[in-house]
Chain A
Amino acid sequence: MNVAVLTGIAFVLVLGVMAGAARPRRVSGVLVAARGVPPWWNGAAISSEFTSAAACLGTAGLIATHGSPMLWYPTGAAAGFVVILALVVAPLRRSGTYTLPGFAEWRLRSARLRRLTTCCVLVVGLAFMVAQLHAAGVVVRLLTGLPPWLGWAAVAAAALAVAVGGGLGSVTSVQAAQFWLKLIVFLGVGIVCWWLAEEGAVAWFEGAYRGGGAGLAGAGDPSLPGVLAVLLACALGTMGLPHVIMRVHTDRDGHAARRSMVATQAMLAAFCVVPPLYGLMGHARLRGAAADEIVLLLPARLFPGATGEVLTGLLAAGAFAAFLATAAGVLAAVGGALSARASRAGARSFRAAVVAVLAAALGLTAVTAPGASVALVLLGLSLSAATFCPLLVLGIWWRRLTDAGAAAGIVLGGGSTAVLVIGEQTGVRMGALTSCPAPVAVPVAFATMVLVSLATPGRTPRDVGRMMARMHLPEHLAGPLTYRSSHRDDR
C-alpha cells in the first residue's frame, strides 16, 4: 500500500507548492488578496479552506461510529454560509478591513480591542491548524507505518511554502484547484466503492437520538439537545473563521462578495454527499476504528488487492489536499492578522508572523494527543460564535455599539466558552445543553455587548454615521468620501 499512498501524497504536496510559489512575489500581493477574482473561483477557494480534515474525514467517521444523529452536522456547517451571506459579507467587504482585528479597530476606534480580537483569532486559528496537523499524522501512521511527525512536517512545510511564497493572492489559485481535486477524488472513490462493493457493504443504522458521551466541545453527542447545540455553534461560528473572513476581500466589491458566498454554498452542497456516503459504508465494515481513520481504511477493506491500494492512494492525496488547503489558508489569515498588529507591517513581519504561528501549532500538536478532528474544529467554531459573531453582527448593524461593550462581550463570551469546555473536560457535568458551549456563551456575549454599550453611550465613535454609510451603501451610490481601499494600517 505504501507506494500508491506515498505517491499520492507527494503529488499533492509538490503540486500545491509549485502552484503557490510560481506566482509573482509583489509586496502588495503578499497580504492584499489579488483583487477581482471571479466569484466562482473565490467560492471554490472558500469551500476548499472550509472542507478541512473534519469535513473530509471526521464527519464521515462520526456518522459511522456515532450513528444517525451525526447526519445533521454537515447541514449545520453549510448553514453558516447563509448566515454570513445575510448578515455579514457585503458590509464587511465594503468596510475595506480584511481581518477581524482590523474590523474591530476601524469600527470601534480602539487599539486595545484590536489586541483582544487578535488573541481570539490566534486561538481559533491554532485550533484549526492543530486539527489539520494531527489528522495528517494519523493518515501517515495509518497508511504507511511511518511516525506521525512526518505527516505534520510535510503539511507544515508545504503550507509554509504556499503562505510565505505567494501570500493570499496565490493561495486563492491553489485553494480553488484543490477544491476540485478533493471533490472529484472523494466523490469519485465513494461512488466507485458504493457501486462495486458486494452485498452488505452498506448498513442502515437506526434513525434515533440517544443519550451518550460527548467529546471535546460537544462533538459526537448523539442526543437531540447536543446536536442542536452543535448546529448553533456551526451556523454562527462560521462567520468568525479568520480564513473565511479573509477570503471576502479577494472579491472586487460587495456584490461580488455576496455572489462568491452563493457559489460557496452550491459547492458545499455538492460536497455534502461525501460524509453520509462514507459514513454508511464505514458503519457496515469498520465500526471499531477511530473516527478520522474510517474513510481511509474503507477501500482496502472493501477491495483487498491492487484496486483497494489505488483507491486508498487517491483518498490519501485528497486528504492531504484538504489538510494543505486549510492549513495554508489559516496560516495566511492568522499571520496577516498578527502582522498587521505589529506597528510596521509589511512582507517581512507577515512572514515572521506566519513562521511563529506555525511553530506554535507544531508545538501544540506535539504536546497533545491526536483526538477527533471534528472536536477541535468545533472548539474553534464555538469560540468564534461566542466572540466574533456578536462583534460582527452588532458592529455592522447597530450603530450604538461601543468599544467597551464589544470588549466586555468578547471577554465574557470567550470566558464562558473556556469555562464550560474546561469544566466538561475535567468531569463537571452541567446538563446536556452545555456539552457544546455555544447555547450558553452566545446569548451571554450578545447580551453583554448590548447592555454594556447602552451603559457607555459616550464611547460611540463620533463618525459612526460615515462608517455605516461606507458599509451599507452600494459602491455605485457611494461618494468619494466612502471609497473602500484597504486601510493602510491593515497592510
Chain B
Amino acid sequence: MNATPGAAPDAGSDPAPGLAPDPGPDPAPGPAPDPALSPTSGPAPGSVRDGVPGDPVAALVGRQIRQALRTVGAVAALLAGPPVLAMWVPDPRAWVVLSLVVQGVWVGLAVLQLRRAERMER
C-alpha cells in the first residue's frame, strides 16, 4: 500500500514538463523500453487472487503505473524529439516523412502497451 502514494505524485507531474524539449527523467525515454520489463511483468500473478500480505492491489497498481510511465516517457520523447531534430533538416520532404513515421510509431507503441498491460493482469 505504501508503494503507490510515493510513486504517484511523480506520475502526475511528470508528463507535463516531460514534453518540454528534454524528455524528462523517466526511466526509459527511448522508444524501446523492452528488456527491463519482461521480468517484472511475469511474476506471481496469482498473488492478486490470493490476497497475500502487502496489498495485491497496490502491487498491481505499482506495476501498472511503472509500465504506463515508461510508455508516456516514450511518447514525450517521440513527440518532442522529431520537431526539435527537424530544425537541422531543412528538406521539407524529411519533415513530411518524419511526421508520418511518428504516426506509425504511435500504433506500435499502443500495441506494445496493450500487450504489457494485459500480461500484468493475467
Q: Which residues of A are at the interface with B, using a C-beta cutoff of 8 A?
A: 68-69, 71-72, 74-76, 78-79, 81-83, 85-87, 90, 204-209, 224, 227-228, 231-232, 235-236, 255, 258-259, 261-262, 265-266, 268-269, 272-273, 276, 280, 390, 393-394, 397-400, 439, 442-443, 446-447, 449-450, 465, 468-469, 472-474, 477
Contacts and interface: CB of A to CB of B under 8 A. Distances in A.
Contacts of B52: none
Contact of B20 (A228, A266, A393, A468): A228
Contact of B4 (A205, A397, A447): A397
A328 to B, nearest CB: 26
Nearest to B68: A86
A75 B75 CA distance: 11
Contacts of B87: 208-209, 224
B89 A399 contact: no
A72 B99 contact: yes
5 contacts: A204-B93, A232-B19, A393-B15, A397-B7, A439-B16
Interface residues of B, number: 62
A272 B100 contact: yes
A463 B49 CA distance: 20
Contacts of B95: 68, 71, 207
A189 B118 CA distance: 39
A465 B83 contact: no
Contact of A204 (B58, B64, B76, B92): B92
A276 B99 contact: yes
Interface of B: 1, 4-5, 7-9, 11-13, 15-17, 19-21, 48-49, 55, 57-58, 60-61, 64-65, 67-69, 71-72, 75-76, 78-80, 82-84, 86-87, 89-96, 99-100, 102-104, 106-107, 109-111, 113-114, 117-118, 121
A467 to B, nearest CB: 10
Given A82-B71, A82-B106, A231-B79, A393 B11 contact: yes
A429 B55 CA distance: 51
B92 A87 contact: no
A442 B20 CA distance: 12
B104 A269 contact: yes
A443 B15 CA distance: 9
Contact of B9 (A231, A272, A273, A450): A450
A269 B82 contact: no
Given A394-B12, A398-B11, A71 B96 contact: yes
A273 B100 contact: yes
A75 B12 contact: no
Given A82-B71, A398-B5, A74 B13 contact: no
A82 B110 contact: yes
Nearest to B69: A86
Contacts of B64: 472
Contact of B113 (A85, A209, A449): A85
B62 to A, nearest CB: 10
A255 B119 CA distance: 11
Given A75-B82, A79-B106, A205 B92 contact: yes
List the 5 shortest-distance A-B pairs measured between CB atoms, nearest first: A398-B8, A474-B121, A86-B68, A86-B71, A207-B92
B110 to A, nearest CB: 4
A74 B100 CA distance: 9
Given A207-B91, A269-B107, A450-B12, A439 B102 contact: no
Contacts of A206: 90, 92
A447 B79 contact: no
Contacts of B91: 207
Contacts of B100: 272-273, 276
A468 B5 CA distance: 12
B42 to A, nearest CB: 16
A93 B117 CA distance: 15
Contacts of B17: 443
Nearest to B120: A474
Given A208-B87, A255-B118, A450-B9, 16 more contacts: A69-B83, A72-B82, A72-B99, A74-B99, A75-B102, A75-B103, A81-B106, A81-B110, A86-B72, A86-B117, A204-B93, A207-B92, A207-B94, A232-B19, A394-B11, A398-B9
A334 B39 CA distance: 43
Contacts of B117: 86, 90, 258
A46 B5 CA distance: 33
Nearest to A469: B57
Most chain A CB within 10 A, of B19, B104, B111, is at B19
Given A276-B96, A276-B99, A473-B57, A399 B90 contact: no
Given A207-B86, A443-B13, A399 B5 contact: yes
A439 to B, nearest CB: 7
B81 to A, nearest CB: 11
A356 B92 CA distance: 47
A9 to B, nearest CB: 30
